[in-house]
Amino acid sequence: IAGITQAPTSQILAAGRRMTLRCTQDMRHNAMYWYRQDLGLGLRLIHYSNTAGTTGKGEVPDGYSVSRANTDDFPLTLASAVPSQTSVYFCASRGNGEPGYTFGSGTRLTVV
C-alpha cells in the first residue's frame, strides 16, 4: 500500500539519549517534512526537504537534525533528548508539483 511508514510507533526515551525517528515513503515524492504536535496543540514544522540532497529548517529546528540521502527516506535525529521534546512526531510528503500533503501515522515520543 502506497504511503508513509513511520517507526517506531511509540517510544519512551531517557533524557540525554540519542534517538532517530524513521520515515519512509514509496510514492516517489520529492518533498518531505517533519512536524511535532504537542498535546492539544497544532502542528509545528521542524525540518523539511524539497528534494533529495537538500534540507531546510522549519519553525522549531533546535535539538533536531535531518538528512535526505535518497528520495524515499527522511530520518529525524534527536542528538540528546530533553523532556521538552516529548511530543507526537509526524512525517509528511508532497508529490511533485502537487500541493497536497500525505501524513504518516506518527511516532509518540516520551522523554523522561
Percent of the chain as helix, strand, coil, to the nearest 5: 5, 50, 50
The pairing of beta strand 31-37 with beta strand 43-49: antiparallel
| Candidates 21-29, 60-68, 70-78, 100-108; binding stretch for another protein (CB under 8 A) | 100-108
Binding mask 71-90 for another protein (x = CB under 8 A): -------------------x
Residue 27 interacts with another protein (CB under 8 A): yes or no: no
Sole binder of another protein in the list 21, 23, 31, 78 (CB under 8 A)? 31
Residues that bind another protein (CB under 8 A): 31, 41-43, 45, 48, 50, 90, 92, 94, 99-106
